[in-house]
Amino acid sequence: MSFKDAHASVYPKTPWLVTFVTAGDPSPELTLKFMLALEKHSDIIELGIPFSDPMADGPTIQKANVRALKAGTKVKDVFEIVRNFREYSSKPVILMTYYNIVYARGVENFLREAKDCGATGVIVVDLPVEESEEYLRACEKTGMDTVFLAAPNTPDDRLRVIDEVSSAFVYLVSLYGTTGAREELPETAFKAITRAKSVCRKPVCVGFGVSKKEHVKALIDAGADGVVVGSAIVRLIEEFGEGAAEKIEEFVSELRKGLEKS
């Protein structure tokens, strides 16, 4: 099976709506409910494993990490959540976390556990290609998909390498800053998409600051293969707590409309 065929058997056709929640926020029990709410209108679920020091995240997701850890969420609980999710859905689940979480368990062990619970791939926010030799070898061995980050200031030669080592998609950060919903999309996003699409062969998904249907539409129109929405969803959990599932479903179904070709 070619890479393309293998990819197509796991991932739906682009464009994608990728949606994010932090596992364990506000409790491990509720996360499954939220994932199922996301699932109906999303192509890929990104599930954050909480970390004590989420340095690439803005205030919204930082607070989600705090809530999750306060609720006692352990990494094994996150794997359990994915295992339970698999009873209801076959949609791809990408785990997103920081390298210390992976490293503390032993890189290969972490990936094997992730694979066994039914996760599709992993994003490690603070692991650039230069530091990822052991990680990449273990991903290949365990069959976990990889997603590396690219940024507006990533030069073409690096983009090429990032594209090379990302088996699921390239996660293009739209701006200079941390995660967090923003009113307006930054100009940097559009320039970055044009450049990334000219260099990368894998799907390019754009995230950071995306919070509305209009944003989704504008990014897809600019050539993105997918759009990642995180903080805007996490904000609903912050506001509505246990009752957020319905709001999430409503919100994601609205975002989904941004994918429709005009």
Partner 1 sequence: MKFGEFGGQFVPEVLIPPLKELEKAYETLKEDEEFKKELDYYLKVYAGRPTPLYFARNLTEYVGGARIYLKREDLLHSGAHKINNTIGQALLAKYMGKSRLIAETGAGQHGVATAIAGALFGLKTEVYMGSEDVERQKPNVFRMKLLGASVIPVESGSRTLKDAINEALRDWVATFEYTHYLIGSVVGPHPYPTIVRDFQSVIGRETKVQIMELEERLPDCIVACVGGGSNAMGIFYPFARDSNVRLVGVEAAGKGLETGKHSASLCAGKKGVLHGMLSYFLQDDDGQIATTHSVAAGLDYPGVGPEHAWMKETGRAEYVAVDDSEALEAFSLLSRLEGIIPALESAHAIAYAVKLAEEMSRDEIIVVNLSGRGDKDLEIVMNLLG
Q: Which of 113, 115, 22 is nearest to 60 (CA)?
A: 22
Residues whose CB falls within 8 Å of the CB of residue 106, separated by 6 or more in sequence, listed in order: none
Applying CB under 8 A, among 26, 92, 152, 207 the residue interacting with partner 1 is 152
Phi-psi region of 28 (alpha: psi -120 to 50; beta: other; left: phi over 0): alpha
Q: Does 108 bind partner 1 (CB under 8 A)?
A: no
Query: Residue length, the chain?
Result: 262
For tokens 């029990």, name the residue: 29
Which two tokens mark 143?
A: 């069959």
- Residues numbered 71 to 100 that lie near partner 1 (CB under 8 A) are 74-75, 98-100
Q: Does 48 bind partner 1 (CB under 8 A)?
A: no
The whole-angstrom separation of Cα 45 and Cα 49 is 13
Applying CB under 8 A, among 80, 118, 164, 177 the residue interacting with partner 1 is 177
Nearer to partner 1, 132 or 211 (CB): 132
The whole-angstrom separation of Cα 159 and Cα 90 is 30
Applying CB under 8 A, among 53, 140, 156, 187 the residue interacting with partner 1 is 53
CB 238 within 8 A of CB 60: yes
CB 32 within 8 A of CB 81: yes
Nearer to partner 1, 34 or 171 (CB): 171
Q: Does 31 bind partner 1 (CB under 8 A)?
A: no
Catalytic residue among 25, 57, 77, 163: 57
57 is catalytic: yes
Helix H or strand E segment including 239: helix 231-240
Nearer to partner 1, 36 or 161 (CB): 161
The values of phi and psi at residue 46, to 5°, are -105, 125
46 is catalytic: yes
Q: Does 62 bind partner 1 (CB under 8 A)?
A: yes
Q: Does 178 bind partner 1 (CB under 8 A)?
A: yes
Tell me how far CA of residue 194 lies from CA of 81, 151, 199, 209, 224, in angstroms: 37, 13, 9, 18, 8
Nearer to partner 1, 36 or 129 (CB): 129
Applying CB under 8 A, among 131, 184, 242, 254 the residue interacting with partner 1 is 131
Q: Which of 226, 223, 167, 229 is nearest to 196 (CA)?
A: 223
Q: Does 69 bind partner 1 (CB under 8 A)?
A: yes
Closest CB 115 distance from partner 1, rounded Å: 18
Applying CB under 8 A, among 7, 10, 27, 66 the residue interacting with partner 1 is 66
Q: Does 214 bind partner 1 (CB under 8 A)?
A: no
Residues tagged active-site: 46, 57
Using CB under 8 A as the criterion, which residues of the chain lie in contact with partner 1 when the complex forms? 51-56, 58-59, 62, 66, 69, 74-75, 98-105, 125-128, 130-131, 148-155, 158, 162, 173, 175-178
